[in-house]
Homo-oligomer: A and B are copies of this chain.
C-alpha cells in the first residue's frame, strides 16, 4: 500500500495521468477509497489533484469507490462535482448506498442530491428514509430481481441478464404476484433445473422474510443463523418492499458489536471510527456516564463514612477495601457481560431468568469457595496469623462474590424485560452498585467478628 501510494503521488505530481489511470483501474474500490484517504487526509489540501485522480476512474469504479469513502470525504467531493458528475455517480450507485450517504449530509447537500436523482430514485430514497433508524427497512435496498411464477427457467435467465447489472444481488431472485412475495429461487436452483421447468414448480415457497420495522440487530442474527445471501423485507400485508444483502448485514453485526463494546465501557455509542471522531465528541461521549457514576459513588462514600468506628478500631480494614471492591466488580462484570452477550446473540431470553440465576448461583458458590480459601490463607500468613482478619476477609469475599454474580446476572435480564438495552447494565454500573453492597457487607462482617 505504502509503495503504491508514493508511486501514485509521484506520477500525479509529474502529471503522468495515463499511467495513474492504468494503476488505479486495477485496484479494488475499497482499497481505492483508503488510498484517497491516505493521499489526501482530512484536509483535502490538494483539491485539484484530488479531483483529477477521482476523474481518472472509470464511472462504475468511481461510484463504488465513492460508496466506500467516509462521509467527510464524500461531502467534500459532492461540493466539487458538477451536476452532471453527481448525476452519473448517483446513477451508478445502489439506492441503499445513496440513502446511507444522505443520512450523514447537511440539508443543502441532500437537496442537491435529490434534485439530481431521477423521479424513481427520489421516490425510493424517500421511502427508505421514512423507516425508523435501526429498522430492517432503513438498511434494505429495492434493487432486487423479481420473477414471475409462470416464467420458464430460460426466461428467468434472460430477465436476469437484462436487468441484473443494476441489481445488488442477482443470486437470489424473488417471485411476486400482485406485489406479494410468493416464492424465492436462487441462481443455483435455476442452474440445477431444466431449461423448460416452470419457476412456480421449482421455487421455494416456505419463505423466511423479515418485517420492515424489525430491529436490524435481529436481521443480523438471522443472517448468522441461516447463512443467507439476501433476506426479503416485507410490509405488514406481506408485500415485498426490498431486500437486505449479506454485506449490509455484516456491517450491522460489526456496528452492533462496536456499540455494545462502547456501552460496556460506559461510553455513549458513536458511529464514526476512533480517529474520525474529534476530541470534543470523544470527551462528550465519555463524560456523561463518568459523571453519573461519580455522583452515584456518593452512596459508597456515605456508607464508608458510617463505618468510621470500624476502621478506626482496625485500620488494616481500609487496606482490604480495594481488593474486596475489585473482586466484586470483576465477578459482576463477568456475569453481566456473558448475559448481555447471550441476549445480543439471542441465546438467552427473559424466560430463562430463573435458569440463569440458578446457574450463576451455583457458579458463584464454586468461585467464591476457591477465592475465599486462597485469600484467607494468604491473609493469615501475611498478617502474623491474625485469624479474625483472615476470617473477615474470607467471609466478605464469599458474600461479595455471590451477591455480585446475582446482581450481574439479574440486571441485564430485567433491563431487557422493560425494553431497555441490556448493555447499559454494563461493568461500570454493576461495579458501582456492587461497591455499595460489598462495602456494606464487609464492614458489617468485620464489626461482627471484631465485636466493634
Residues of B within 8 A of A257 (CB): 257
B28 touches A206 (CB 8 A): yes
What are the residues of chain B within 8 A of A320 when measuring CB–CB?
301
Return chain B residues, CB-CB under 8 Å to A302: 319
Given contact pairs A164-B191, A428-B330, A247 touches B264 in the complex (Cβ within 8 A):
no
Decide if A213 is an interface residue (CB 8 Å cutoff).
no
List the B residue with the shortest CB-CB distance to A397. Answer: B294
Q: Does A427 contact B (CB under 8 A)?
A: yes
Contact yes or no, B208 A345, CB < 8 A: no
Instruction: Kindly list chain B residues whose C-beta atoms are within 8 Å of the C-beta of A363.
Output: 279, 282-283, 286
Q: How far is the CB of A25 from chain B (nearest CB, A)?
A: 9
Chain B residues near A326: list those with CB within 8 A. Answer: 293-294, 297, 300, 428, 431-432, 435
Contacts of A297 in B (CB 8 A): 322-323, 326-327
**Is B342 touching A322 in the complex (CB atoms < 8 A)?**
no
B residues less than 8 Å from A370 (CB atoms):
283, 287, 291
Among listed A118-126, A127-135, A236-244, A310-318, interface-contacting one: A310-318
Complex alpha-carbon distance, A250 and B264, angstroms: 22
- The answer for the CA separation of A289 and B322 in the assembled complex, in Å, is 16
Interface pair B333/A428, CB less than 8 Å apart: yes
Which residues of A in the span 305-346 have a Cβ within 8 Å of any Cβ on B?
Answer: 305, 308, 311-312, 315-316, 318-323, 325-327, 329-331, 333-334, 336-342, 345
Number of residues of chain A lying within 8 A (CB) of chain B: 110
| CB contact between A321 and one of B187, B266, B321 (< 8 Å): that residue | B321
Taken residue by residue from 276 to 297, chain A's Cβ proximity to chain B (1 for < 8 Å, 0 otherwise) reads as 0001101100110111011101
Question: Do A323 and B347 have beta carbons less than 8 Å apart?
Answer: no
Complex contacts, A226 vs chain B, CB 8 Å: 28, 30
B188 touches A337 (CB 8 A): no
- Tell me if A229 is interfacial: C-beta within 8 Å of chain B: yes
Cross-chain contact B274 with A339 (CB below 8 angstroms) = yes
In the complex, the answer to whether B274 meets A342 with C-beta atoms within 8 Å is: yes
Q: Which one of B260, B327, B337, B382 lies within 8 Å of A290 (CB-CB)? A: B327
Q: Is A447 among interface residues, defined by CB-CB distance under 8 A? A: no
Report B-chain residues with C-beta under 8 Å of the C-beta of A188.
164, 170-171
A-B contact pairs, 18 of them (CB 8 A): A28-B206, A30-B227, A164-B188, A257-B257, A261-B337, A267-B338, A274-B339, A293-B327, A298-B382, A301-B320, A301-B323, A312-B315, A318-B321, A326-B431, A326-B432, A329-B428, A330-B428, A330-B431
Given A311-B311, A329-B329, A333-B427, 10 new contacts (CB under 8 A): A187-B187, A246-B246, A260-B261, A262-B341, A265-B337, A267-B337, A274-B339, A282-B359, A287-B367, A321-B321
